[in-house]
Structure 1
Amino acid sequence: MNDGAVSATTERVLGLFEGVRLTPTQRRIAHCLVQHAPSVGYLSAAEVAELAGVSQPSVTRFATALGHDGYPALRRRLRELTAGPTGRPGGTGNQLQQAVRAEIGNLDRLAGQLADPDRIAEAGRLLAASRPLPVLGLRAAAPLAAYFAYFAAKVHPDVRVLDTGGSLLTDRLERAADAGANALLALVLPRYPRETFEALREARSAGLTIVAVTDSPVSPATDHADLVLPAGVGTGLVFDLHTAPMTLAMVLLQALCDAAPAETQRRLEAFEVSAARRQLFVS
């Protein structure tokens, strides 16, 4: 199956969960089904349970929660959703080209989500109003946290990157809350570090509103965040591609700027004056 077909299959499987309130265990099962979308219709309940790290009865209850009589009925539905042509029309090119084309698909789906900009605008207002603004990103998400924070610091007076774990991470979260932070941007990408979720629990205990950029609407991050913004991660190469999450982070930064346009303009102009005085750039 080509990458475009895989992406379409993933979308159809995700559609099973729309409008259904899932428990944390059921979210793990749902995430497992999305991760294995191309072959999920041929997995047994025991195999799904093993992959998701849950019990087999939990898989049966999950199927019932989705409106099916049991897992066999859900599996039949999954086979219908994942069935596709046996050939590879549109699957031309080598593995590298197909991986890039899959990223184009992730960006296209992200563009579709942005047809309704209200959630992004809400997130922008929450982040703009938080002084300071902590930005959490551990392991694979650390470069994305730094990238967002680099530009956010040009328009926000106090951006704090939290990109290392351990006990110091809790210290830095607590200091941010004590200094007046009321929101946290969390970048949560696979593989999901355990410390990320520990930090999110600490942030919630400190009263912070959590905005999460993650790879899927059934990501484990949804159990910890107040506002979830999904963007697909490419899996066609040895290591994941984060093109869509990076784009979403920049869209979110635009929303932050739009939430405080006068202050944004003032800070950008001040930076340009400072940059010119110090001759920071050659052009």
Structure 2
Amino acid sequence: MSATPPAIAEGVTPGPSGRLLSLFDGHRLTPTQRRIAHCLVRHAADAPFLSSVEVAELAGVSQPSVTRFAVALGFDGYPALRRRLRELGPADPGDPGNGQETARDAVRNEQQQAVLSEIANLQHLAAVLADPEPVLQAARLLAASRPLVVLGLRAASAQAHGFAYFAAKVHPDVRLLAEGGTMALDRIEQAVQAGATTLICFALPRHPRELVEMLSAAKRAGLTVITVADSAFAPVAELTDLMLPAAVGSSLVFDTACAPMMLGRVLLQAMCDELPDSVARLEAFETAAASRGLFVG
């Protein structure tokens, strides 16, 4: 499920749950398929002996969903997957094989796997940021755009909302687009007419078809597009002038996006440095917030 699984602690051999998790690594699974994967992990000892109907009942999904899950992992069907599960049986006689977590399993249960995957994504982002120029280039474009258009649909709307909320504290005119449709296309045109030169887009899986339409419209209108995406090869790459990749975690039923959020905050910091009056705006906000008793702490 995660394209870049974190390394297992040195000297630790993964138990049944860990070996199942490694089977799912590298596959982009739907939320339903992840539910099935988690069910198999929770029943690691019994999984090699369960029928597709039994797996479906345990996971609370349909039997065809189990078949599609097996195919998504690269197998001809569930029987082939079950054979593979049997091959992944206990690694040594010390594995009890009774479904109980051992000390070795404890470092790779599904909750810890998700956290470790996010840590790996953040570490990769830190390595990428060793070259600050792409972020600095993006910050200059963001600071110069009046208004600044922020776009993020569906799963990426939370990232767009967060970025726009903080950007508005230092940028004089931020316009958030968190829903698609013809009205959103109108707002892109209105922003360009008002002087906008740059649009920042948060594009996370699963990528909405309407996002492509909106970015196409932005490009036709002459906007420079900066995109924070889960991969440099995201479906919107061809519509992006400056791509800033930050991986998402896919170890849980729903994606986690700590790295894209962090990259957004890094961009905000760099944008503040490019806006000469950002400090004054922040101080003015704090003064107003204090006089209004806006916050309790």
Q: Same fold (TM over 0.5)?
A: yes
Matches within 5 A, 1:178-197: 178-197=193-212
User: CA 1:277/1:221 → structure 2, altered by over 3 Å: closer, same or farther?
Assistant: same
In the alignment, what sits opposite 2:245?
230
Aligned CA RMSD, in angstroms, stands at 2.4
Matches within 5 A, 1:193-212: 193-212=208-227
In the alignment, what sits opposite 2:141?
126
1:277 and 2:291 matched: yes
Native 8 Å contact 1:91 1:98 kept in 2: no
1:135 and 2:134 matched: no
Which amino acid letter does the alignment assign opposite residue 232 of structure 1?
A
The 1-side partners of 2:218 and 2:125 are apart by 27
Which amino acid letter does the alignment assign opposite residue 201 of structure 2?
A
Matches within 5 A, 1:1-283: 6=5, 36=27, 92-260=107-275, 262-283=276-297
In the alignment, what sits opposite 1:24?
none
Moved more, 245-254 or 90-99: 90-99
Which amino acid letter does the alignment assign opposite residue 242 of structure 1?
A
Native 8 Å contact 1:3 1:98 kept in 2: no
The 1-side partners of 2:294 and 2:181 are apart by 35
The 2-side partners of 1:178 and 1:135 are apart by 16
Question: Scaled by the length of structure 1, what TM-score is found?
Answer: 0.69
Give 5+ residue unaligned stretches, structure 2: 8-24, 29-70, 73-90, 93-103
Which amino acid letter does the alignment assign opposite residue 132 of structure 1?
P
Q: CA deviation at 1:218?
A: 1.2
The 2-side partners of 1:207 and 1:135 are apart by 15
User: CA 1:3/1:180 → structure 2, altered by over 3 Å: closer, same or farther?
Assistant: closer
Q: CA deviation at 1:90?
A: 9.3
The 2-side partners of 1:214 and 1:91 are apart by 32
Specify the structure having the higher radius of gyration (Cα). 2
The 1-side partners of 2:222 and 2:163 are apart by 23
User: CA 1:4/1:137 → structure 2, altered by over 3 Å: closer, same or farther?
Assistant: closer
User: CA 1:90/1:3 → structure 2, altered by over 3 Å: closer, same or farther?
Assistant: farther
Identity of aligned residues (%): 53
The 2-side partners of 1:5 and 1:160 are apart by 35
Deviations 1:193-240 (A, max 9, x none): 011110000000111000000001111121110000000010101110
The 1-side partners of 2:106 and 2:129 are apart by 27
User: CA 1:35/1:128 → structure 2, altered by over 3 Å: closer, same or farther?
Assistant: farther
Q: CA deviation at 1:36?
A: 4.0
Moved more, 270-279 or 191-200: 270-279
Native 8 Å contact 1:134 1:183 kept in 2: yes
Which amino acid letter does the alignment assign opposite residue 153 of structure 1?
A
